[in-house]
């Protein structure tokens, strides 16, 4: 939970005491403002072990918002049941969010949450498929890390693949660049998916409100403790300069 702590200005974020719940450095914790939501659809977040952005990561923060949510760290699991730690009778009733090369904008639909088949096309019986889901799987990590999780866990092909077409880009903004406009943070993806599938706008409002508070704290710490939370480094331009 959050505490009022003033660490040394030259403190290293890797050794800063962390909140046992969200695993963030204490100055960035917002756990005291979170009240878990009763969710009908289970949430499983699989986090790549090299996703180590303690300051800006949102996997554990997202999970804390739901009474039925689990974060597992690793590269591969033998099955969905092993990842969850309980038996899953029908993996097809679980959706896995993985964009890959698919884009909602390329499909003939006005929906922003879309179930697709193995060919990347809109799944037949779209509404019934989405309404029948009992759980969702979110892959937490960079674009390449999410791809690694997808390919190292072939059992995900038994689940229903889902892609998103958000109306706006991630709220990370310049703090953490996404390679595509439809790339969202884990907490934003959870907010969008659960609010649509459960038809509860309050879920999105709650999660996005927490995300905004987290980002506000991050920016505040950037101003007051720049050595603790450094500003993102500008990307280098590797293009060759034109001669003369």
Higher pLDDT, 236 or 136: 136
- Residues 64-107 pLDDT 10s: 999 999 999 999 999 999 999 999 999 999 999 999 999 999 99
Question: Does some domain include residue 113?
Answer: yes
Q: Is-contact 177 169, C-beta < 8 A? A: no
Is the CB of residue 159 less than 8 Å from the CB of residue 80? yes
**208 lies in a domain?**
no
Answer whether residue 170 is part of any domain. yes
Whether 224 is covered by a domain: the verdict is no
Sign of CA dihedral 223, 226, 232, 238: positive
- Is position 230 within any domain? no
- Does the pLDDT at position 120 exceed 60? yes
Does residue 205 fall inside a structural domain? no
**pLDDT surpassing 50 at residue 135:** yes
Domains held by the chain: number: 1
Strand order from edge to edge, sheet including 42-47: 69-73, 42-47, 135-140, 94-97, 160-164, 113-116
| Domain around 131 | 39-200
**Which residues fall within 8 angstroms of residue 36, CB to CB, at 6 or more apart?**
64, 65, 66, 67
Identify the residue with better confidence: 54 or 105. Answer: 105
């Amino acid at each position: 939970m959050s505490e009022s702590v003033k660490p040394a200005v030259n403190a290293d974020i890797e050794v800063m005491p962390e909140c046992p719940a969200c695993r963030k450095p204490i100055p960035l914790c917002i756990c005291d403002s979170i009240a878990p939501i009763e969710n009908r659809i289970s949430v499983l977040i699989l986090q790549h072990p090299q996703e180590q952005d303690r300051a800006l990561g949102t996997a554990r923060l997202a999970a804390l918002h739901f009474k039925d949510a689990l974060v597992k760290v690793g590269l591969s699991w033998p099955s969905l049941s092993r990842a969850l730690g309980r038996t899953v009778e029908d993996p097809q009733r679980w959706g896995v969010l993985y964009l890959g090369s698919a884009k909602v904008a390329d499909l003939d639909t006005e929906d922003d949450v879309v179930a697709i088949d193995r060919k990347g096309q809109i799944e037949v019986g779209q509404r019934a498929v989405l309404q029948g889901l009992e759980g969702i799987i979110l892959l937490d990590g960079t674009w390449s890390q999410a791809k690694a999780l997808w390919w190292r866990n072939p059992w995900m092909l038994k689940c229903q693949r889902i892609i998103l077409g958000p109306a706006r880009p991630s709220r990370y903004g310049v703090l953490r660049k996404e390679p595509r406009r439809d790339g969202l943070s884990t907490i934003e993806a959870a907010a969008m998916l659960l609010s649509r599938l459960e038809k509860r706008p309050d879920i999105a409002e709650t999660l996005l409100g927490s995300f905004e508070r987290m980002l506000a704290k991050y920016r505040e710490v950037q101003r007051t403790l720049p050595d603790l939370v450094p500003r993102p480094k500008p990307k280098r331009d590797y293009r060759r300069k034109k001669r003369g």
